Every structure is written in C-alpha cells, then in structure tokens.
Chains A and B, each alone.
Chain A
Amino acid sequence: MLSSHPRDPARWPRLLTLLLCLALLAPSFSLTQFNPATLANPDSWRTMAGFVAGFFPMALQADFLRDVARETLTTLASATAGIALAMLLGAPLAFATSHALQRHVLGGERPARLAGWLASLLRGLMVILRGIPEIVWALLLVRAVGLGSLPAVLAIGLAYGGMLAKVYAEILESQTPGLASALYLQGASRWQCLLYGLWPQALPELLSYSVYRWECAIRASAVMGFVGAGGVGQLLDTSLKMLNGGEVSTLLLVFLLLVSLSEGISLLSRRALASVAATRMLPALGLLAVAASVLWLWPGWRDSGFDTSAIVRFARDFFPPASDMLTEIGHGIVETLAMSGLGSVLAFMAGAVLAMPAAGRFGTAAKWLSRLLLNVLRGVPDLLWASIAVLAVGLGPAAGVLALALHTTGVLGRLFAETLENADPEPELALQQAGAGRLLAFAYGQLPTVFSQWLAYTLYRWENNIRSATVLGIVGAGGLGQQLYLALSLFQQHRAASLIIAMLLLSWAVEQLSRYCRQRMG
C-alpha cells in the first residue's frame, strides 16, 4: 500500500555517507580538543551567562564614548589610508606583471627572457605580500615601527597591495586585448597602451574591486588593535581582557554598525559605477577621504617617528630562520588544518539549517530574524569571535573551531539562502502536489539543484578558513598564530621567521591546490 508520506528511499546511503564523513572528521575533534559536550556543560554556560549578563547596562559614560568615537574614526582612517597605500603599491606591480601588457602578448614578439624573469620575481614578491595575513603584518610592524595606527596602515597597504596587484593584473588580462594590441603595433608605448587601450574599459571593474577591498580593510583595521595597532580593536581587546561586559557590548554594537555602514557605502558606490559621471566622481571623493584620513592620523604618526635604521635592524634579526622546530611547526600546521576543517563542516551544517528560514520558507518573521542572526554572525570577524569563544570553551584550538564555525555560518547561511531563492521551485512543488511530504519534496526536488553550489561555496570558505586559522592563536586560540605571538614577545626572531615561512608555505600550497581543483572542476 502506498502511504502518503513514504520514507526517504535513500535514507541508508545518506546516513552512511554522513557517518563516513564524521569518521573522517573524528581525528579533528581530538586534535582540536573540541568537545561538543563542553558547550552543554553548565559551568561554561554559567561563565558565559555571567559575562553576557555583564553586557547590560551598556557602558555609556561620556569619556568612554569619546574614546570610542575617536578610535572609530582612527579605524576608518587607517583602513582608508591603508587602501590608498595598497593602490599605490598594487597598481605599478600590476602594470609590471600583467600578461595583458607584456610585449610578446601585445606585439606577438618572442618573449624577452630578462623581462620574464623580472615579472616572475615581482610575482613572487606579490605572493609574499598577500601570503602573510594582514594581522601578522600588523604584529610585525608594531614591533618594527612602534604602536599606533601607522603599523595598521602599513599592514593593510602591504597585504592588500599584494592582493590588489594580483587582481588588477587579472582584470587587465580579462579585457578584450584588440585595442591595446593595435595601439602597440602602431608604435605606442606600453604605458600608452594601458592608458588608452585598457584603462577606459577596465576602470569600472578596477574601481569596484578597490571599493570592495576598502570594505574588507575596515573589518581588518577594526581588529588590528588586538596586536596593538590602534582603533576600536584596541579598546575591545582591553575590555575583553578585563571582562568588562558593559564596554564589550557597546563596542560590539559600534563594531557591527561600522561594518554595516562600510558595506552599505561599498554597495552604493559599486552600483553607482554603472554611470559614467560616478566613475569620474568616485576617485575624487576617494582622494578627499584619503586626505582627511591622513590629516586625522598625522599627529599620532609624527610622535611615533619613523626610523628606517631601526626597521632594518629589526628585519636583520630574523635571519637565519630557526631550523630546529620542525615538530612544533608540524603540530601547528596539523592543528590549524583540523581547526579550519571542523569549523567549516560545522558552519556548513548550521548554515544549511539557517538558510531555510532565511530564504523565506517559514514566513516573513522567521526570514528577517534569521537574516539578522546571519548578519551578526558574519559581521563579527573570526578573530573577535575567537576572543569571545575562549570564554565558552576555554583557551586553545577548540575556541578557534567555534570562532570559525560562527563566522562562517553567517557567510555560508547567506550564500545558501541566496541559492535557494534563485533556484527553480517547480520540481519541489511538483513533488509536493504529487503527495510527497515537505521534507522529502525538499530533499528530492530542491536539494539536488543547489547542493553542488553549496559544496563549492563551502570548499571556497574552507580555503579562507585555513588562512584565518593560522592567525587565531594571536588571541589564544591555538595553531601557528599562538606560537608566532609567543616567539615575538620573547624576542625569538629566528623562531618567528620559521613560523612565518610555514604560514607562507601553507597559504601558498592551499592557493595552488584550490586553483588546481577549480581548473579540474571547471
């Protein structure tokens, strides 16, 4: 007899796959000491509840708010000045390395060996610049040039400079080459080819990407205070360390507002790029913002003083890198990989669950509530989640897992909800009308149409999370970052150098692997 709600015919294979995945993940649980039972432990709940209860009343004393306002402006200004520096650094690097502007591409000549080597050398430099996470740059620069906003600006400038160079070069390569090539064959210089052949068509895309990076820079700049590089992060770090809940809640709110504001501005200006007038106006506005930022930050920089010889001395101490710490580094890398893997899987599950209401499947109220939750999860950077997570699960890699899971849930949940909204509803409706239950109709009608997209997003985030996991240790959440922070605190520069090399290699290997996979898949 045919029941109206037959059981899922594929339930056993599904269950088996799930168990297999969990078995594969099992070592990650022990490696990261992540024990879901800790979350259910009344003691950690009491700690957490005590801390959260301290959130109210929020700290609203006049001098505290004045500090917050000043540091918020510093955060904004550091990000803006940092991006300006990144553009100054990235644009010439892109010009020098983009395949679109190589003579042999433009003119069909035989590639010149020397120029080829030079371009490869510069590309290597770009890999180093962007392979070291910005917070690690900040940590190093704080030691080299002193505390304050200057290291934050330089850190963003260097790390994002390497990133902008790569993307700028790729944008130039993706334009139709005909015009530039024609100009070159007429005797134009490479500079002229760029200016008249590629620049006009690539400009909106270049601007759009730069604005997007500015938005990322604000999030980065906001947490750089955790290593002493000024801004709201520094206030938040102190309040978190002293477990001052009232201050933490005020700062978290400011933090979320700052992130939403920058997202809003970034979205508006990228939309406006469709019109020619805006494409002309945006650089002018940007220049004004940069000038205002530099003026705001200037008094702090003047006092700190920029001593080149001290920086050279500082850099020299890193050589040669220590060679006796392979086991420690190996352990750090394994811990980092386990943290990122487990965090991503948990985020995949939580993201999928939250995506249902967020895509409007359970009514409007549920939709907006879940969207709000996802935005908060996403708006708080993983480094910040980590410093809060240590309260819930104690110090160590477990906090890193939780932090990555929380932040990534916000990111994936939103992306999953978008794919659900864009998916074709017909198959699911057809199944429902044929008498299938809601769950089954979803599993057979909708899930297959979005699942591969979901997996692709998750893999992409996992790649990001590996990079994030290397630095979470700076706030005490295990992995390579913790070892690096300790080594630098103890002036063990040789050890720090080895750890930075390990981070670079890990980031480079992940980038190569992901590129290889994408090529195979796509």
Chain B
Amino acid sequence: MKTLKLTLATALLAVSALASAEEAVLKVSAIPDEAPTELQRKFAPLGQYLEKELGMKVQFVPVTDYAAVVTALNSDKIDMAWLGGFTFVQASLHGKVVPLVQREEDSKFTAKFIVNTAVGAKSLQDLKGKSFAFGSASSTSGHLMPRYFLQKEGIKPETFFKNVAYSGAHDATVAWVASGKVDAGALNASVWEKLVQSGKVDGSKVKLLATTPPFYDYNWTVRGNLDKKLQARISAAFLKLDPKNPQDKAILDLQRASRFIPTKADNYKGIEAAAEAAGLLK
C-alpha cells in the first residue's frame, strides 16, 4: 500500500513537470505591508496596464510574510517585487537583484510615531515604560528607520519600553494603538496619511507624536537574471505613466505615487548603514 502511494505521488510529480512548461508569465509580488485584500486591490489596474504594455501575462502572487518575498525573489520564484528599502538591502545581500523604478515620494519618505491619546504623551521621551509596536520586523518605515531614529534620540527600544511588539503591517499598528492593545507605535507616513484622509483614524483615540527625517524607501525590483530587454521594457512602462492622463492617474493614485522615477542601488546605501547601526544585519 505504501508503495502504491509513492508511485501515485511520483506520477503526479511527473505530470506536473510536463504541464509547467507553458507560455511566459511575469510573476509579481509585494511585501505585505498592508492587508492582503488591500494589496490585491491596489495591484489589479497596474497589473492589467503591464500586461498590455509588455504583451505577456502578469500574475500577482500574494505573500503574507516579508522575508518570504525576499527569499522568493532570490530563488527566482518570482520575477519582480515591490520591496521596501530594508527588504531591498536584504535581497541584494542574499543574491543579485536590480532596482528599476521608485515613486517620486520614495526619495524623501518618512515614518510617523503615533500614540494612544489616553497615554497623554507629548514627546518620545514620555513613552518610557509604555508598550510599543513596530510594524513588521522587516519593514523599513515600520521598524528599521523608526528604530534607528529612536536610537539617535538615545532610546534603546528593548529597555526603554515596557514591551516591544511587531504588529506585522502598518494598518495593523494603527488598529492596535487605537484599541489600546499597545500604547504607541511607528508606521509608514503614506499609509498614515491614507488612513487619516479616508477617515479611518479616530482622532479622539490616536494622535501623531513625531515624524522622522526623510530617507529612501520602496522600489520595484527585478531578479538579476531576468532578461535585460524585458527589464528595460518594464522600466519604460512605469516611467511612461503620466499623471495628466486620467487612466494613468487612476493607476498612480492607487500606488499613492505622483509619478515613477528611475532608481539605483546606491540610493539605498543609507538604509544599509542604518540597518548596520541598528544591529539588524548581523
């Protein structure tokens, strides 16, 4: 009976190996810095645009774990990914990857510190002995840079706060602080602004405490061994998106981008140095 099971499994494997040699597909993923449903919604129009521009099928692979996106890109399981500054540094340390474009906003990105109003804190120093939530441990604006700037203020999170937790995503951090599950937290400025604009932040429960100095964040990165011509065509497609064209504007708005600009690996040296200084790269 055991042999039978084994034979069955082997047969299935063989069939699938044959079936997988199909047409070209561009597999795209993104770090899960927001809820999975939100990521899918944001990507859908961009995916259709890329399919049209590149003349190939574009498939979005939803992933719920930051590190898994990095691993997938490094092991060629996906072709392109939306990475944060820190995940880009991790990916480039573990393999060959090429950053193509970034949003204009990403060259001067910031992170926000927020606090539950019941705590009554006026500055970061008032948070001593309170509980604090970062986003994902692998997040640039949700963990690395807030940690780095706290450190510059002389605050070592593990001893300064009562508890340090990782919510997993930027919107989750806001929900946690609003509910009082933690006293304060740090998140991506752009998600914060989106939540404030759409009225999803209850001003009587959560307030802004501080903003970090600007740094380079997110970009679209492809695996290093992806066809060079295809890389150029992908870049061109992104750069061609025109905010004056209503159709393009809709795509850009969902990405919360005014427009896309070319980027290079050197832009992220500062992030790498910060990660080194914060002890997150050992």
Contact = CB atoms under 8 A, between A and B. Distances in A.
Contacts of A142: 65, 68
A326 interface: no
A82 B249 CA distance: 48
Interface residues of A, number: 51
Interface stretch (B97-105, B160-168, B189-197, B220-228): B160-168
A486 interface: yes
Interface residues of B, number: 51
Contact of B163 (A44, A84, A395, A492): A395
Interface hub of A87, A287, A305, A490 (most chain B Cβ within 10 A): A490
A56 interface: no
Nearest to A322: B282
Interface in A469-488: 476, 485-486, 488
A287 B169 contact: no
A147 B68 contact: yes
A290 B176 CA distance: 41
A91 B2 contact: yes
A491 interface: yes
Contacts of A488: 67
Nearest to A290: B5
A147 B12 contact: no
Contacts of A283: 1
B67 A395 contact: no
Interface in B1-33: 1-2, 4-6, 8-9, 12, 16, 19-20
Given A228-B64, A302-B20, A146 B71 contact: yes
B280 A147 contact: no
Given A294-B9, A298-B16, A302-B19, A489 B136 contact: yes
Nearest to A395: B165
B77 A307 contact: yes
Nearest to A91: B2
Contacts of B175: 241-243
A287 B168 contact: no
A429 interface: no
A195 interface: no
Contact of B67 (A305, A391, A489): A489
Contacts of A243: 175-176, 179, 181
Interface in B52-102: 61, 63-68, 70-72, 75, 77, 90, 94
A241 B282 contact: no
Given A243-B179, A298-B12, A310-B75, A234 B5 contact: no
B12 A396 contact: no
Interface hub of A87, A91, A242, A313 (most chain B Cβ within 10 A): A242
Given A146-B77, A291-B8, A228 B280 contact: no
A403 to B, nearest CB: 15
Contacts of B20: 302, 305
Interface in A182-240: 227-228, 234, 237-238
A303 B72 CA distance: 12
Given A305-B77, A489-B67, A476 B179 contact: no
Nearest to B138: A489
Nearest to B37: A238
Contacts of B19: 302
A111 interface: no
Given A88-B2, A489-B66, A476 B280 contact: no
B35 interface: yes
B243 interface: no
A174 interface: no
A396 B67 CA distance: 23
A489 B20 CA distance: 31
A294 B12 contact: yes
Contact of B131 (A46, A391, A395): A395
Contacts of A88: 2, 5-6
Nearest to A494: B282
A51 interface: yes
Given A146-B72, A302-B19, A394-B182, A287 B65 contact: no
Contacts of B114: none
Interface in B188-212: none
A395 B181 contact: yes
Nearest to B165: A395
B63 A147 contact: yes
Contacts of B2: 87-88, 91
Interface string A129-150: 0000000000000110011000
Contacts of B133: 395
Interface in A303-331: 303-305, 307, 310, 313-314
Q: Which residue, B20, B63, B67, B90, has most C-beta atoms of chain A within 10 A? A: B67
B187 to A, nearest CB: 13
Interface in B123-161: 131, 133, 136-138
B137 A242 contact: no
Given A47-B181, A290-B5, A241 B68 contact: no
A243 B1 CA distance: 47
A390 interface: yes
A424 interface: no
A418 interface: no
B166 A486 contact: yes
Contacts of A287: 1, 4-5
Contact of A84 (B5, B281, B282): B5
Given A238-B35, A486-B137, A490-B138, A391 B68 contact: no
A47 B281 CA distance: 36
B172 interface: yes
B131 A394 contact: yes
A147 B65 contact: yes
Nearest to B132: A395
Contact of A307 (B68, B75, B280): B75
B282 A492 contact: yes
A43 interface: yes
Q: Which of A43, A46, A243, A491 has the most CB of B within 10 A?
A: A491
6 contacts: A88-B2, A237-B64, A301-B16, A302-B19, A310-B75, A489-B136
Interface of B: 1-2, 4-6, 8-9, 12, 16, 19-20, 35-36, 61, 63-68, 70-72, 75, 77, 90, 94, 118, 131, 133, 136-138, 162-163, 165-169, 171-172, 175-176, 179-182, 280-282
Q: Closest 7 A-B residue pairs measured CB to CB?
A: A489-B137, A395-B165, A310-B75, A241-B172, A228-B65, A396-B163, A243-B175
Given A147-B64, A390-B181, A489-B136, 17 more contacts: A43-B180, A50-B179, A143-B71, A146-B77, A147-B65, A238-B35, A294-B12, A301-B16, A302-B19, A304-B77, A307-B77, A310-B71, A313-B75, A391-B181, A395-B133, A476-B166, A489-B137
